[in-house]
Chain A
């Protein structure tokens, strides 16, 4: 088989920019992504367990229960097995579970959240005991024996928006073993603290980003002392960044729009643009962090005259039963407020968040040319006439192939019982791509074979998204 080298103009590299649109509807403590319903199955009320977001692999569909791990201690190979026996009782549809066998490679599957103690501060003065989202790093690995299996928790890896209402966002609390009391205190809302640098950084876009600001035109504020409603959008929904000018937040009561925020200035300010004449119209209710995927809402003006329960508990009057404002936007979006604990009034409220993302996909385009007089032979055994002598001479010293084998005539005839005159032609079914060492590194297969006659020029356009 002959190989052809790509010419100078045969390989083109491009970046394809796209702006994928995402929308989230929050109603009665459920999130609906891109207006898709939460599908109920025979074994699970949410077949993807994605709660209004994306299921990363969509692997364990409508599965529930526990998967039985059976280790065959009598077998020569004692690795984990799940061989069935006549008495094996499986759950009706148990999930697929990953595992890895411990060896010297130090590989493990992240499975469990861990509680850990950090010793920090000047002169190692205080400890932080954190039960946060840090994942198991090595405890299971270190405690298990060589050859034992380390399982992963679940394949249902999902992603959705999260809402966090932070009352007095800059508040701090005491921490364990603190020596100079009052010197450094642990922040109540670490997510807000983590964003403070970014907020000040983007202050060049708009002063509304600044944590602390004072001016006669825009007013003065200190975000540390404000209540903040933080909406977090995972990166998988927007790619590199949210597209400026595309963010829209809508607040509905019984299906009627009572407030809409848009970043109409393309600078991250979330300005109330509707409905016309609404309370707070034209005011900045918060800012969007395009690159980080957050919306921080501070607008506390009334959007409704009537009071509603936005999922508070413990008798906090600020969230238990209160008039609607942007602080309660997206109440019920994975914020711990469950539909069963919310008073009926909250079901009157629904929220919509939409935006466009920004993705760049590197695209490699290759043109493979089959010029006239080239690519006219096939290595397929059926290319030659059947039942021919393939080897004319074969001995201990000599091996000569038959050089007069005839090619099968595949030219279509219009008449029955009449063979059309022979022509050299092939059907091209795939294009192989080789590296400089002539190793096959890629294959492009055509949807249907293309006929190439000897006098024809053909060019195949191959595209590869990286």
Chain B
């Protein structure tokens, strides 16, 4: 029970602030493939009967401790050369592309056509920039929180040729695509799905785009071209110097030891394509952002107030204990708690100090109470 109250002036004693809390999120290729179980049957990878995407967890998903970290999928536009009735899960791949582009880019033109993803910041559908075949990495809200911090996203993918497990998996180089040129105020385009930036590499060109608020990254199929791998639409060639002069390839399905990206897009199911991409992810790293809104109450303690305590131990035999039985000594109190009351003097909130604070008639204090929402 307080012995007196100090009124808070709504104009001068109350302020609101906004704080941005960030987290560094490293996602290594180690947990994306090969650690929990034997690839491609990793125990932290969940495939669904609908076959539209694959979920990646940070631990075997049968454990209650596992967290969902992202979903992987693949899609292409119906105007892509990969689209055709002979392609495996053709409609699902088209639907996946359309759903993503509808939600993130919206429609255009008099016929309300769904937009296409592009590798630049102008949605003009220029032939050289459209990304008709994309790999989708949809990050969990648990990781992206309010949004991915602009300028912090990077993904490293292996671009070398796949030689099969016996020959040592994927050899060759890696491409690192990042949005390093993007800042909080520049280098993004605002669309119906929020802001997006371009993922590029100084050596390998543009590899895709990342939507910051939605937390979704898109890698174009040609992002894996690199120095050794097959470029999209080309026929795989023989890699000189490789084991037994094997042809370069993007992945193996266990029967044929090499396939091109083309064959992956047309001949593999979505989950199979996700497996192939998964083993090529070397590292993903980004920072997230959480917006914290706060109200700050400045609680002022004048020199002539709050120098007394209603704590039973404050008195000893009827006299104030801290005066050492000398009436002329000033009273001293130690502030441990601040209570915030409403206009009806009902206690609404309590703020505790990390350590008691000495208060006597010779000093004035202002304590800053922050309430986060």
Contacts and interface: CB of A to CB of B under 8 A. Distances in A.
Contacts of B53: none
Interface stretch (B90-98, B177-185, B250-258, B269-277): B177-185
A106 B82 CA distance: 55
Nearest to B174: A86
Contact of B19 (A41, A77, A105, A122): A105
A97 B21 CA distance: 11
B282 to A, nearest CB: 8
Contacts of A41: 59
A39 B63 contact: yes
Contact of B23 (A88, A94, A98): A98
B35 to A, nearest CB: 5
Contacts of B65: 39, 47-48, 58, 61
Contacts of B67: 58-59, 61
Contacts of A105: 17, 19
A134 interface: yes
B193 to A, nearest CB: 18
A93 interface: yes
Contacts of B30: 92-93
B141 interface: no
B151 interface: yes
B285 A82 contact: yes
A90 B178 CA distance: 17
Given A62-B59, A76-B183, A100-B22, A84 B156 contact: yes
Nearest to A155: B23
Contacts of B149: 79
B258 to A, nearest CB: 24
Interface string B266-295: 000000000000000001011100000000
B176 A97 contact: no
B371 to A, nearest CB: 13
Given A77-B151, A81-B151, A100-B21, A86 B184 contact: no
A174 interface: no
Interface in A113-134: 118, 122, 134
A415 interface: no
B22 A80 contact: yes
Contacts of A88: 156, 283
A92 B28 CA distance: 7
Contact of B25 (A84, A96, A100, A135): A96
Contacts of A98: 21-24
A83 B180 contact: yes
B20 interface: yes
Contact of B355 (A47, A58, A92, A134): A134
B19 A84 contact: no
B290 to A, nearest CB: 9
Interface class of chain A by DSSP: loop
A75 B28 contact: no
Contacts of B183: 75-77
Given A75-B151, A83-B178, A92-B30, A97 B283 contact: no
Interface in A57-81: 58-59, 61-63, 67-69, 72, 75-77, 79-81
A45 B313 CA distance: 49
B19 A79 contact: no
Interface residues of B, number: 45
B58 interface: yes
A450 interface: no
Interface in B156-206: 156, 173-174, 176, 178, 180, 183-184, 186
Contact of A107 (B19, B143, B151, B176): B19
B84 interface: no
A42 interface: yes
A36 to B, nearest CB: 9
Contacts of A67: 24, 26
B87 interface: no
B152 interface: yes
A107 B17 CA distance: 10
A83 B154 contact: yes
Nearest to B311: A197
Interface of A: 39, 41-42, 47-48, 58-59, 61-63, 67-69, 72, 75-77, 79-86, 88, 90-101, 105-107, 118, 122, 134-135, 137, 197
17 contacts: A41-B59, A47-B59, A58-B65, A58-B67, A61-B65, A69-B24, A77-B184, A84-B155, A84-B178, A86-B176, A90-B283, A90-B285, A91-B28, A95-B26, A101-B20, A107-B17, A107-B19
What 10 A-B pairs come out closest when comparing CB atoms? A77-B183, A84-B154, A92-B30, A83-B154, A98-B23, A94-B26, A61-B59, A82-B285, A83-B178, A107-B19
Interface of B: 17, 19-26, 28, 30-31, 35-36, 58-59, 63, 65-67, 143, 149-152, 154-156, 173-174, 176, 178, 180, 183-184, 186, 283, 285-287, 313, 324, 354-355, 368
